Amino acid sequence: MQPFKQLTGIAAPLPMINVDTDMIIPKQFLKTIKRSGLGKNLFDEMRYREDGSEIPEFVLNQPAYRKAEVLIAYDNFGCGSSREHAPWALLDFGIRCVIAPSFADIFFNNCFKNGILPIVLPKAEVEALMDDARNGANARLTVDLEAQTITRPDGSTLSFEVDQAKKHLLLNGLDDIGLTLQKAGHIDAHEARLRQSQPWLFQAA
C-alpha cells in the first residue's frame, strides 16, 4: 500500500449528503476482486448516460476536476452496504483524501486499510473548503498527515484529528497484513518455541 504523508492536489466539490457506496460504485461492478480498473466506473450512474456518454455537469467530468485527488462532501459519506470496492474505486480514480463532516463507520475504516485518508471536519470548515474547491484547478489543497493540517489555497491552515494507530498505518503504507508482518520476528520465534515444546502440533495428519 502506498504511504500517505503529504498530498497537494486539486479538490473536487461534491455538495451532497448521504453519498452511499452504491452511488460510489454501483453493484454491477462488484464482480471483480481486483483493486484496479474500478476508477472508470466511480460514480458511474452520475457520470454517464445510458448510452455511455459522459454527463458534462457532473463534477469529475469537468476538465478542472478530471485529475482531482481530494473530494469535499457533506454528511454521512460512504453510507449503505459495506463494500470495500468503494474505496478501491476512489483510489483507482486518483482520490486519496475525502473530507466531510461525517462518514459511515465501515467505509471510514476501509479507507485507512486502502491508503485513503478520510478527514472529519466541522460543517463550517467543510463549507469553506467546498468554496475553495469551486475555484476549479486553482483549488489546490495540501494535506499533511504528519502535521495533521490542511493548507488552503490562500495559505491559511485547518487542523484535523486522526486516530494515532490509523495514522501510523497510513504514514507507513501498512494494511492489516503489513502491520502483522512487522511482528514477523516475534511470530517466527513463537513458532520455533512451539516446535520444541509441542512438536505434535506440526505433524502432518
CB-CB contact of 47 with 60 (8 Å): yes
**Tens digit of pLDDT for each residue in 157-187?**
999 999 999 999 999 998 665 555 555 566 6
**pLDDT at residue 185, rounded to an integer:** 65
CATH fourth-level superfamily of 6-174: Aconitase, domain 4 (3.20.19.10)
Question: Residue 101: CB partners within 8 Å, gap ≥ 6?
Answer: 74, 75, 120, 121, 122, 123, 126
Sequence ranges of the domains in the chain: 6-174, 176-205
- Tell me the mean pLDDT per 10 residues along the chain, length 205: 94 97 92 81 96 96 96 97 93 98 97 96 98 89 98 96 95 70 61 76 71
